[in-house]
Amino acid sequence: MGGGGSPGFSGRLVALGMAPAVAADLAARTYTKAPVAAPLPTWAGFYIGAMGGYASEDGDNGIKGGFGGGTVGYNWQSGIYVFGIEADAAGADISATANFPGFSAEDKLRALGTVRGRFGFTYQQVLFYGTGGFAWADERASGAGLGVSLSETKTRTGWTAGGGMEVMFAPHWSVKGEYLYRSFSSETIFSGVIPGGLATGTLNINSGQVGVNYHF
């Protein structure tokens, strides 16, 4: 009956009596895992999309109108920084008309596009970026009246710069809004009809556009 030995019969009964209570207590406890944040989207890779918008020339009497087309591009990403290259092309109805006594004239952009670099940074699902590069436009100048009909098409080239914001709203899908300033160099038209031709002058256009992209 000395101390220091194994627990007696009564001690074992006490332990057996406590076991169900301890087991019930453990079963009643609930363990919850800490929430795991969803991985942020990656912008790296190839993408295609559709876009459309509205453009207008500087000044009240300049050309204006809408356009719509497609986009293709590729992004690289390092941390929060994203850089890439993008090209777009669109059919357009951006025009202005002028009427004179017995004669009317029209200037119209029938298509336009760009090839641009992009550089920006991300914040959660949002990409903020600046962009700039090469711009082109298919322009038709025409006039009719006084027994004369003239029409000539030129490809105008120049540069563009702007910026935008793009949001990844679902896996592989993003939507964007963008502003571009386009400046096209002067061209000479009707040189085969008018001695020396007519200089069109520089064409500067402000454009806003929206688009949706699918990322592979």
- β-sheet bridge partners, residue 99: 104
The identity of residue 99, as a single letter, is N
C-alpha angle 19-22-24 in degrees, rounded to nearest 5: 105
Residue ranges covered by each domain of the chain = 45-215
Among 24-28, 117-121, 198-202, the range scoring the smallest mean pLDDT is: 24-28
Pull the structure tokens for residue 159: 């540069």
Provide mean pLDDT across the span 175-196.
88
Question: For tokens 């002028």, what's the residue?
Answer: 98
Among 79-88, 104-113, 115-124, the range scoring the smallest mean pLDDT is: 104-113
The identity of residue 80, as a single letter, is I
Residue 137 CB neighbour total at 10 angstroms: 24
Among 13-17, 56-60, 73-77, 131-135, the range scoring the smallest mean pLDDT is: 13-17
Give CATH for domain 45-215. 2.40.160.20
163: buried, middle or exposed (CB in 10 Å: 19+, 13-18, 0-12)? middle
